[in-house]
Amino acid sequence: MTMTEMETVAHWIGGERVEDAGRYGEVTDPATGAVTRRVAFASAADVDRALAAATAGFEAWSAQSLARRSNVLFRFRELVAVHADELARVITAEHGKTFDDARGEVQRGLEVVEFACGAAHLLKGEASEAVGTGVDSHSLRQPLGVAAGITPFNFPAMVPMWMFPLALACGNAFILKPSEKDPSASLLMAGWLAEAGLPEGAFNVVHGDREAVEALLRHPGIASISFVGSTPVARFIYETATAAGKRVQALGGAKNHAVVMPDADVDIAADAISSAGYGSAGQRCMAISAVVAVGSAGDALADALEARVDAVRVGPGVDDGSQMGPLVTGAARDRVVSAIEAGESEGGQLRRDGRGVSVPGHEDGFWVGPTLFDRVTPEMSIYRDEIFGPVLVLLRAETFDDALELVNSNPYGNGSAIFTADGRTAREFEQRVQTGMVGVNVPIPVPMAYYSFGGWKQSLFGDLHVHGREGVQFYTRGKVVTERWPEQARGAEYGFPTHR
Ligand code: NAD
């Protein structure tokens, strides 16, 4: 089939599918390597069209009462819940993750929608009576206007749902630029928002690459940018969009550490680390990628991890028996393979090697099996770089303080975890570790929707994390009203008003 004969993943602008584009990208099934669809790539003119639709959508949507807005979100929530399997199947087909994993992603996204249904509570202002003689004050939180979101491939439903439900609940219109690698989930969600009663133009999707992103970043009609993706792009997004006067939250890459103390239960730690390191083929921003074994913990942990690696069932995400799917693209597979080669040549002890894994009947899929390096040191590239694949590196530290220093010296600061049986050590870790999200015997400490998600250091550019209270702050701006209803003229006063 030629590109022109393929099904097109269209833009969604003003409540309609827009298929025409000057450029298209290919969408592949990572388990087979086959190109399955083409996706329209937006030009600056397409972004202009989306913005015109969103500006009109904002007028209609922001005028609706809080009760109506939350009704629409409730209906959207029901539609996603009813169609959760369909959404998960689309995710598996384009991302490659297992169906169960995709269902889990949909569930975590839905939790943000549920939180957004109750956002009215967080939009309440404050009021003070008699701040001066006959003077009262109250505060308002108002929408920004048109908000935009640019999202990565690894959670094509959940990460957009970190953004648009709250943005909409706060009264904004939204333009989503999803990853071009797995774009179809966004269109399903756009359709359900329309079915739920969202006015046309309040939610739009433009697909594409850097051209679409740059148009969004520089367009004066867009008030805010929420970005989730790799650190170099996050930095570029932050610098470009703030220079254009926009509010920005740009979440970047990660190197999440698990510190394992000698008193930790080695089986519990190994199960947790193996799931967090190899689940979704290591393509989670909260995946554990570096394990720091303290003192005597190292050898037993290395053996226990090796045993888990040997038991991981690698296969297509649609097969019930698969625990780990392929990498998202051939390029991602090649990048992970090069990282493993570099780790070997730098002297890492390769205990399990996922290169060359082949899945019968799916020989052209983008496979790399679970890989385990031991005796890794902080100078090695497999430790320094974000690999974003199923590769765990094990480092050894003599003491808790050494382990903590290692974690805190890392330029990333997304998540971290400690495995221990000692409350005092756990508390010390929680207090001193420099990451935005911390797990105590919990390997992937993704906060619930009513807390906020985000990292520190090079894992976040900007000030406010996503969803939870900080999400509401991000998508609104404050206004304070001071009012007086005088009965008679008081005469002009030229000093600075004190209201006394
Ligand atoms: P990516 O940075 O390549 O792409 C993210 C988005 O930016 C996509 O929509 C893409 O089209 C766009 N983009 C890519 N290159 C661009 C460029 N040069 N200019 C403008 N736009 C560009 O990330 P990815 O490969 O899709 O996702 C994986 C990365 O995302 C990993 O680094 C992972 O750690 C990170 N991530 C972070 C979090 C977090 O919460 N911190 C969550 C999920 C993923």
Task: Read off the pTM.
Answer: 0.97
Ligand 1 and 252: CB distance under 6 A: yes
Q: What is the pLDDT of residue 49?
A: 98
**Residue nearest atom 10 of ligand 1, based on CA coordinates:** 179
CA-to-CA dists, residue 145 to 198, 206, 348, angstroms:
16, 18, 51
Q: What is the pLDDT of residue 500?
A: 75
- Helix 231-243, helix 210-218: angle, nearest 10: 30
Ligand 1 centroid, distance to 228 Cα (angstroms): 6
Which ligand 1 atom is the nearest neighbour of the CA of 232?
2
Q: What is the pLDDT of residue 355?
A: 98
Most informative mutation of 179, 206, 466 for ligand 1 (most atoms within 8 A of CB): 179
Q: What is the pLDDT of residue 6?
A: 86
Ligand 1 and 143: CB distance under 6 A: no
Q: Which residues contact 279 (CB under 8 A, 6 or more apart)?
A: 101, 287, 323, 324
Ligand 1 centroid, distance to 247 Cα (angstroms): 19
Select from 269, 176, 268 the least CA-distant residue to 225: 176
Which ligand 1 atom is the nearest neighbour of the CA of 388?
31
Ligand 1 centroid, distance to 304 Cα (angstroms): 33
Ligand 1 and 152: CB distance under 6 A: yes
Q: In the chain, what is the straight-line distance between the N-terminal and C-terminal CA atoms, in Å?
A: 78
To 5 degrees, how large is the angle CA 319–CA 322–CA 325?
Answer: 100
Q: What is the pLDDT of residue 421?
A: 98
Ligand 1 and 226: CB distance under 6 A: no
Ligand 1 and 388: CB distance under 6 A: yes
Ligand 1 and 437: CB distance under 6 A: no
Q: What is the pLDDT of residue 5?
A: 79
Ligand 1 centroid, distance to 233 Cα (angstroms): 7
Q: What is the pLDDT of residue 190?
A: 98
Q: What is the pLDDT of residue 16?
A: 97
Q: What is the pLDDT of residue 40?
A: 98
CA-to-CA dists, residue 438 to 71, 405, 417, 445, angstroms:
35, 16, 6, 6
Select from 184, 194, 149, 191 the least CA-distant residue to 167: 149
Residues of the chain with confidence (pLDDT) below 50: none
Whether 117 is catalytic is no
pLDDT for 145-175, tens place per residue?
999 999 999 999 999 999 999 999 999 999 9
Encoded tokens for 86: 């369909």
Which residue in 217, 285, 404, 464 is the catalytic one?
Answer: 285
Ligand 1 and 459: CB distance under 6 A: yes
**Residue nearest atom 23 of ligand 1, based on CA coordinates:** 229
